[in-house]
Chains A and B, each alone.
Chain A
Amino acid sequence: MSEARWDVIVIGGGVVGCAVTRRFALAGAKTLLLERGRDILSGASKANSAILHTGFDAPPGSLEVACMQAGYQEYLDIHTRLNLPVLKTAALVVAWTEEQLAQLDGIVSKAHENGVDDARQISRQDLLGRETGLSTTALGAVEVPREYVIDPWSAPLAYLKQAVRAGAGYQFDTEVKSGAFDGEYWHLDTGQQRISGRLVINCTGTNGDNIEQICRKPGFEIRPRKGQFLVYDKSASALINSIILPVPTATTKGVVLTKTIFGNLLLGPTAEEQQDRNIATVEREMLDGLIATGIEMLPGLAGHSVTATYAGLRPATQFKDYQISAEPGKNWIGVNGIRSTGLTAALGIAAHVQRLCGETYSDLANFGPAAAAEWPVMPVLAEHEKRAYQQGDGTEIVCHCERVTRGEIEAALDESDVPARSLGGLRRRTRVMMGRCNGFYCSARVAELTQGRISPPLAGHEKDQS
């Protein structure tokens, strides 16, 4: 059994793992990402509300708000070079009851305390003037101008692609089962392989406390919180302009109405604690409840159809704040309890982890000369930008609902950094089969185009009839 030796091993290919891999690879560390799923974003990161948050309502002084704000800034600094989209919608925290209206003042003060100085209360008249589709039972709102919508899948993929170009490696279908530290190197056992590296960074999300056990007794417990979402047809996205956020209360977090970067309208999430770490099912009663809430807020939603339903698990712990710490003398950093703000905070978390590494492990402070940063150009998937079919890439449209060309599908399968090797991976890279028909028109064609390229395959050859 051969044994490769790495500087840094990142366990978990969610958005945080991808951002951390990027950070260390760019810093010159020989970095490997291990992911037990068939692609990045196989766990908590594949299902979120895709908002780039300012951190206006995060607990002041927390690590969470610091990482969110650093991540927010870095995303805005790098997104053009990676060709990652931003839809500048702003958010409105809408009060629906007198009780909520009375809380708006507090929300503005907290935002200002968090440095989000442009948050301000607006009147019912202003609110209904800006959002003509909202139910007139709305009483007022807090406007947060710099809350934006981003692409939750292309961003982490871009981070990993950039890391790969800086020399990072990755391995999917690889689950770390155990590990041992020999004073200099960690030796991780996957059942098939032993993989060794000087520093291990645990970014395993909903499995965080179990993986943490390899090094130490975790000081927290993962308590998965399920969120169910509904994606409405693109026809519904014109019903709102801004992200419509709820006023958080002690009993319920409430649901969000937002455009997606792909031109749909998203409604959710629910918040349900559950035991299972891996399985998130959608339930009819909860979806019906979401729809009722959605129509109450936005009556015009009633005539629009649902394109997709999904559920995700947030890796919450018993603590409100992130649980990020380095174990002195053991070359291990745990990055845990990244609840629902991971997409915004990921780049900030990565920078924080790098600092923590330098402070804790003086011998690991410098891995080598920093890598020359290459900037992969991500394909355009955002509805408000010029897509491949609009530019004319010389190939026909295969997926009509999302207008995905054959060229885009082939590029996602053929590219060399992090090609799609599963249907989920292809869908997230191209939008194919993500639309309202769920593959009625294109799935057989996609099966042909992906034959021998993805696992599990969409279809096998017909039986021999003879």
Chain B
Amino acid sequence: MSSVDIDVAIVGSGPSGIAAATALSKAGFKNIVVYERETNIGGIPRHTHHPSFGLRVFKRPMSGPKFIAALVRRCPDVRFETSTTITALRPGGVLELASASGLRTIRARHIILATGARETPRHGRMVPGLRPQGVITTGALQQYIYSAQLLPFERPVIVGTELVSFSALWTLRHAGIIPVAMIETGPRISAYRPATLFAKAMGVPIRYNTEITDISGIETLTQITTRTRGIKTATIPCDGLIFSGCFTGENTVAAASHLSLNASNRIPLVDQNWITSDPCVSAIGNAIHPADMGDQCYLEGAKAGAYVAQLLAGNISLDKAFSEIRRGEGIKMTTPSILRSDIFGEPHFDLSFHVTAPFRGAVRISQGEQVLNEKSINGLPMRRITLRNNRFATGYPVDVSLIAEN
């Protein structure tokens, strides 16, 4: 296995993976492959049938499948290999692949991980109770309704009020189902406030400050018990429970590899150009910042792909060493998570991050005594905040901190 089989292997065919492939294809690389473990390409959008895609890329609202189809039309030369799972990533650009015919190994000059995100399900949230059927996530719900034309239940409760929770509501409406309630642990919805109007129009009550204290049902779900404001308990008869949101990166392969990870969330570290600790591996999209909109992922993937094209063309010499971006209290994650110098212009970076809890005040990026950038923010946990074009000195850690209003 001394020879290189392909130029670039892209793992995952969601918006960011397709974008990276398109950028590389446009830069003249012919020998690139997008690997997809599902039988169809498209990632999450392939089963998200409401018009929350396309506004930034195509300047018009589109459904997930239409968005993906339009993206694919932009890259007619890109090769997709479906039903192919990456089972291991090794140093030196080596990937192990599983498909119907078994295992094989390939070697690429560069690998781009675009493995996406999924919702944290019931067990990962350690919700108490029994384990009946009917407890699922929004992603599973969409596949039941849109891909399989099957109904897993008729009277569900939606847990969470992120954007994706309202996507669950939309999906249910399509199937002619009105959920019993939405429940939210906080005092307001996590998505933008106007989303409540959609729930209201469907006649679905939102119960705030409410957590699940029990799940009942031996084989199939019969009811849940909730507690509001820590005191008031209630039982809600229902036959389905949809755990929505709380996205987590699908980083199984990266986390089991040689890549350096963020210790608290096991997301691979990436620099300002999406290069990981291994200079021949990039990581992009919702795998590293679960989860942003499909359009944002596409635009990011295009930039990352263009950078890899420069790298492979020999126009950039990449430093192996990198410096850390240190997160202060209240910051969930940052993209990038490390900084690295190259000889490709002045060292600067765009910083995106999420807060762990609603926050009003300012965010400051600093390096030692030097303040690189500061901006006032009104942050909510599910909303991405970006500070653009921050110049930095190479080789020293950068701090990102929240400064509360007085």
Residues of A near any B CB (own CB < 8 A): 38, 231, 234-235, 278-284, 287-288, 303-310, 389-397, 400-401, 403, 422-423, 436-441, 443-445, 447-448, 451, 456, 458-463, 465
Contacts and interface: CB of A to CB of B under 8 A. Distances in A.
Given A305-B124, A462-B145, A389 B85 contact: yes
B147 interface: yes
B103 A306 contact: no
A394 B137 contact: no
B121 A437 contact: yes
Interface residues of B, number: 57
Contacts of B150: 444, 447-448, 451, 458-462
Contact of A281 (B126, B129, B177): B129
25 contacts: A235-B266, A278-B218, A281-B129, A283-B128, A287-B126, A288-B126, A303-B263, A303-B264, A304-B266, A308-B123, A309-B126, A392-B98, A392-B99, A392-B102, A396-B99, A397-B37, A436-B252, A438-B122, A438-B136, A443-B152, A445-B147, A448-B148, A459-B151, A459-B152, A462-B150
B83 A397 contact: yes
A113 B250 CA distance: 50
Given A304-B266, A306-B126, A307-B123, A443 B100 contact: no
B219 to A, nearest CB: 6
Q: Counting chain B CB atoms within 10 Å of each CB, which of A396, A422, A460 scores highest?
A: A396
Nearest to B177: A463
Contacts of A462: 145, 149-151, 175-176
A439 B87 contact: no
A278 B218 CA distance: 9
Interface of B: 37-39, 83, 85, 87, 98-103, 118-119, 121-124, 126-131, 133, 135-137, 139-140, 143-145, 147-153, 175-177, 213-214, 218-220, 248, 250, 252, 255-256, 263-266
Given A401-B252, A463-B151, 10 more contacts: A231-B123, A235-B266, A283-B128, A284-B213, A303-B263, A308-B123, A396-B83, A440-B137, A444-B150, A462-B176
B149 A305 contact: no
A447 B85 contact: no
Contacts, number: 155
Given A281-B128, A392-B100, A397-B37, A440 B140 contact: yes
B123 A309 contact: yes
A172 to B, nearest CB: 13
A398 to B, nearest CB: 9
A391 to B, nearest CB: 6
B100 A396 contact: yes
B251 to A, nearest CB: 9
A50 B123 CA distance: 20
Contact of B100 (A395, A448, A458, A459): A395
Nearest to B262: A303
Contacts of A282: 126, 128-129
Nearest to A303: B263
A163 B265 CA distance: 47
Contacts of B152: 443, 447, 458-459
Contact of A445 (B87, B148, B256): B148
Centre residue among B119, B153, B255, B256 by max chain A CB count within 10 A: B255
B123 A443 contact: no
A448 B218 CA distance: 23
A408 to B, nearest CB: 13
Nearest to A406: B100
Nearest to A435: B252
A252 to B, nearest CB: 22
Contacts of B248: 305
